[in-house]
Structure 1
Amino acid sequence: MLKIKGLNRTFPANKKLDQAAVAAVDDLSVELEPGELFTMLGPSGCGKTTTLRCVAGLERPDAGEITLGDRVLFSSERKIDVDANQRGLGMVFQSYAIWPHMDVFRNIAFPLEIMPRKSRPSKKEIRVRVERVLDVVQLGHLAGRRATDLSGGQQQRLALARALVMEPPLLLLDEPLSNLDAKLREGMRFELKRLQRDLGVTAVYVTHDQVEALAMSNRIAVMRHGRIEQLGKPREIYGSPTTRFVADFIGSANFIEGQVVGPAPQGTGFVIRTAFGEVTAGSAQEHTVGDGVLITVRPESMSLDTAAGGDWTGEVAARAFLGDGVDHMVKLGEVTLRVKTSPRISIPDGTPVRVLFEDDACAIVPDGGGGSLASLEPREPVGSPA
């Protein structure tokens, strides 16, 4: 469907502002399947929006090739650069960019009305297409209302309808939910996913929100410094991160340094010796005895036992109630682990506890060190004191 090959975009240095040249997109290549919702996820400045703008034709790459089906949209080698208004793509921006002087119906119809005369649909066809897309986004009863009188969620659906009415082969979504409040944003995630699935639209979604990406995507590309750090299905990205950056950026993670003792006696993985005891951890790479590695364990994959004793024993240093659970910060010597328990469990500070988790909850990330066998400090939880 969409194929990006060797895409590069560098923003030049600005001597007046003492800014060095920035490689926003660095030799990026990826291919999308028809009907896929593909998410580019990463922190600010990772290159995700620049990549999207290059696909849209709003940004000119320095090198590479972008093809949509059999149509070349950009090629540095073949000197092809199709104008944005000739690419026929649908785009929903972070700001909805609705026309405040028009009602809902006219906002959606306007892109069709200004098409070149030879390709412009008839007035009857425009009405049919607008009414059809209004039904899809469930705004038919508001067709005559001024766009500025809509709620935030309704304006978001209006912006989506305006993109869909063009019946684009590819839909580009640039953080369209970031301006909504938390409750509405959660509802719109499912609404967007439903629309994309029911219509069979191929979509590229850009966001820095990890939960959004996990909830909506068929595949996720985690980006860093203009490159794809890891590409895979949401469950793969979350459960089997291939780098420390991915493990830390997607959700929350505990990191513990250790040393490879040998292969696991059963199944795949390796036995790892840590300062707190041995564990078995899975890995996508091969390791040899004595290798220093970094293992990661998700806070929700751990539990606490107040019958302390043996390996992985420490005490609760702090706790915070988060609504759907309680975060406990557990001190093991010089190391602090973050453990998320059921909201019904709240263990007072200073209580001796043992940290428990299954072997399949551990994964080895390849860029760990060996050295001091000490955990990296987790981020402090944000919530009410439990």
Structure 2
Amino acid sequence: MLTVDNLVKSYGGAGRGRRGGGPSEPEPDTRAVAPDGSRVFAVGGVSFTVEDGELFTLLGPSGCGKTTTLRSVAGLERPDGGTIALSERVLFDSARGINIPANRRELGMVFQSYAIWPHMTVAKNVSFPLDILPSSRRPPRDEIDRRVRRMLEVTELGAYTDRSATKLSGGQQQRLALARALVIQPEVMLLDEPLSNLDAKLRESMRFELKRLQTELGLTAIYVTHDQSEALVMSSRIAVMNEGRVEQIGTPDEIYGRPATRFVAEFIGTSNFVRGTVASVRGDTVAVDTPDGRLVCSGAGAAPAVGAEVLLSIRPEAVSLARDPHPGAVNQWAGEVLNRAFMGDAVDHVVRVGAQEIRIRSHPTESVEPGTRVHLSADPARVTLVPA
């Protein structure tokens, strides 16, 4: 198990940085702030735990602090504050002055650029991390060869042992970088956007290949990406980051189906947002009055007080579209189709409801012409309450 607690990393220079974490995160170590306040916070009080056997993803836009967090875990960045521990072994602790060098953390890392040695064969690339170990820690030659053969086998590169690394395709080079990181038998694998250099079709197939390897080998891994689809497909849990802090941690289902903030709802997929005022609360069911009628959401968790201003998030695929009213539907609007777009596996409709536009994603057989009057409905269990 790897634990990161209240991690802070700032850089000098003019600029504005986030210093605070979310409601569940402690304040960062303010000793990282210069007297004139001219510090830019790449990471501002990030905390999470990665369980054994998990593929834990740090997801967010460029500049959100995800790579800085990963590099801090790897020992390639020295944080200003916080702690990083692997099981009972402390890798970094600002208060106690502990900072284990990167080459002694025994973590595997795959970089975005792969960093393949062009003058070495496939087998030599894989054995390299073991070959350069001090003699006191280096395994015997036959053990190194056995590990290399095993890694080439699981990454399906056994037929390319003596081939020059530069003669491999992009997907094969990605697997070679993974084999080289795995050969040291790390407790945790760190992967920094390893698929971003591949074309779209290969990237999609490699997602499943990486997930297969992670599951087959029982790897504990931290995966960094800005690709929402990649995170949803591969992850055990996801930490969505924004401006140096964690917005939400949860399973892919939780992150997508129950976003905790507007940022998460907007960044992960597409959402319709409807503002309103809480009309009533019964258990975890909340009724909200909006300019276009009352909407109900269930499973709201900690419900706000009656009269509070709230925001409802509704995914496009959670909205049903029909030409006639839905008998007995709780959440129902009448509107007019403004536009539609054929997406191959779905049809996107934009429907005007009152003063706002609602986006609906339907089965490709459900295509409605613009100008048609329609009725929309949404299951209360698929309507999410987020802070306004």
TM-score (norm 1): 0.90
- The match for 2:87 is 69
Question: SS state of the match for residue 161, structure 1?
Answer: helix
Do the aligned partners of 1:42 and 1:208 also contact (CA within 8 Å) in 2?
Answer: yes
Match among 239, 242, 245 for residue 224 of structure 1: 242
- The match for 2:311 is 294
- The match for 1:371 is none
CA distance in 2, matches of 1:361, 1:96: 40
Do the aligned partners of 1:153 and 1:188 also contact (CA within 8 Å) in 2?
Answer: yes
Match among 136, 153, 158 for residue 118 of structure 1: 136
Question: SS state of the match for residue 147, structure 2?
Answer: helix
1:158-209 CA distance string (max 9 Å, x none): 1100000010111000011111111111111111111111111110001111
- The match for 2:9 is 9
1:301-347 CA distance string (max 9 Å, x none): 11211236995111111111112111111112320111000112221
CA distance in 2, matches of 1:88, 1:307: 63
1:204-247 CA distance string (max 9 Å, x none): 00111111111111111111111111111111111111111111
Match among 70, 73, 77 for residue 59 of structure 1: 77
Do the aligned partners of 2:338 and 2:351 also contact (CA within 8 Å) in 1?
Answer: yes
Do the aligned partners of 1:256 and 1:274 also contact (CA within 8 Å) in 2?
Answer: yes
CA distance in 2, matches of 1:286, 1:14: 41
CA distance in 2, matches of 1:263, 1:76: 46
CA distance in 2, matches of 1:174, 1:117: 30
1:189 maps to amino acid: R
Match among 250, 253, 262 for residue 244 of structure 1: 262
- The match for 2:368 is 347
TM-score (norm 2): 0.90
Question: SS state of the match for residue 312, structure 1?
Answer: strand
- The match for 1:376 is none
1:80-108 CA distance string (max 9 Å, x none): 11111111110001111101111111110
Match among 25, 46, 57 for residue 64 of structure 2: 46
Gaps of 5+ in 1: 369-386
Do the aligned partners of 2:284 and 2:302 also contact (CA within 8 Å) in 1?
Answer: no
CA distance in 1, matches of 2:56, 2:40: 25
Q: State how 1:123-138 maps to structure 2 within 5 Å.
A: 123-138=141-156
CA distance in 2, matches of 1:334, 1:275: 8
Q: 1:344 to 1:20 in 2, by over 3 A?
A: farther
- The match for 1:329 is 350
Question: SS state of the match for residue 176, structure 2?
Answer: helix
What is the aligned-residue RMSD (CA, Å)?
1.7
Match among 319, 325, 336 for residue 315 of structure 1: 336
Do the aligned partners of 2:292 and 2:354 also contact (CA within 8 Å) in 1?
Answer: no
Q: State how 1:175-190 maps to structure 2 within 5 Å.
A: 175-190=193-208
Question: SS state of the match for residue 277, structure 2?
Answer: strand
Question: SS state of the match for residue 214, structure 1?
Answer: helix
CA distance in 1, matches of 2:177, 2:343: 33
- The match for 1:196 is 214
Gaps of 5+ in 2: 16-36
1:49-88 CA distance string (max 9 Å, x none): 0000000011000011111112111111111111111111
CA distance in 1, matches of 2:174, 2:238: 23
- The match for 2:297 is 281
Q: State how 1:356-375 maps to structure 2 within 5 Å.
A: 356-366=377-387, 368=388
Match among 287, 312, 326 for residue 271 of structure 1: 287
Do the aligned partners of 1:329 and 1:339 also contact (CA within 8 Å) in 2?
Answer: yes
Identity %: 55
CA distance in 1, matches of 2:342, 2:165: 40
Q: 1:4 to 1:309 in 2, by over 3 A?
A: closer
Deviation at 1:20, TM superposition (A): 5.3
CA distance in 1, matches of 2:216, 2:84: 27
Question: SS state of the match for residue 88, structure 1?
Answer: coil
Do the aligned partners of 2:14 and 2:40 also contact (CA within 8 Å) in 1?
Answer: no
Question: SS state of the match for residue 68, structure 2?
Answer: helix
Do the aligned partners of 1:242 and 1:284 also contact (CA within 8 Å) in 2?
Answer: no
2:2 maps to amino acid: L
Question: SS state of the match for residue 159, structure 2?
Answer: helix
Deviation at 1:277, TM superposition (A): 2.1
Larger mean CA deviation between 147-156 and 280-289 belongs to 280-289
- The match for 1:306 is 323
Question: SS state of the match for residue 346, structure 1?
Answer: coil
1:300 maps to amino acid: E
